[in-house]
Amino acid sequence: MDEAYERELDQADRALRQKDFETAFHHLERAHVLAQRMTGRHTFVHWRMLVAGLLRGDLREAVGQVPRIVASILFSRLWVPRGNTGRARVSAFKPMPVPDDLRHLVS
């Protein structure tokens, strides 16, 4: 799981450097699914989504990540909606399907 998480973040960072925001968010969403139950990693992914939103000029995404950062600090170990991608455009309470290739890594 650690390797998969780091791989998703590396791919997101590479895409951000190339200003390929769709690819970056795709990998950040996957990292979010993997990190939901780990407070530090979960919060870090939301921080990266906030930064990606700012770089993209997407104020809705950036502002929407602020309460998610706070919630990730407070609730990661208590309850998270399984499979949720963490983006500001989806409900923070909505469970979502876990990608098939990540399912075995998410308990």
CB 57 within 8 A of CB 16: no
Residue 101 lies in a domain: no
Q: What is the rounded CA–CA span in Å between residue 7 and residue 4?
A: 5
Q: Report if residue 87 sits inside a domain.
A: no
User: Inter-axis angle of helices 21-35 and 39-56, to 10 degrees?
Assistant: 170
pLDDT of residue 77: 86
In a domain, 22, yes or no: yes
Structural domain includes residue 32? yes
Distance CA 101, CA 90 (A): 22
Tell whether 94 is covered by a domain.
Answer: no
Q: What is the mean pLDDT of residues 99-106?
A: 92
Tell me whether residue 12 is in a domain: yes
Which residues form the domain of 26? 2-78
pLDDT in tens, 24-81: 999 999 999 999 999 999 999 999 999 999 999 999 999 999 999 999 999 988 888 9
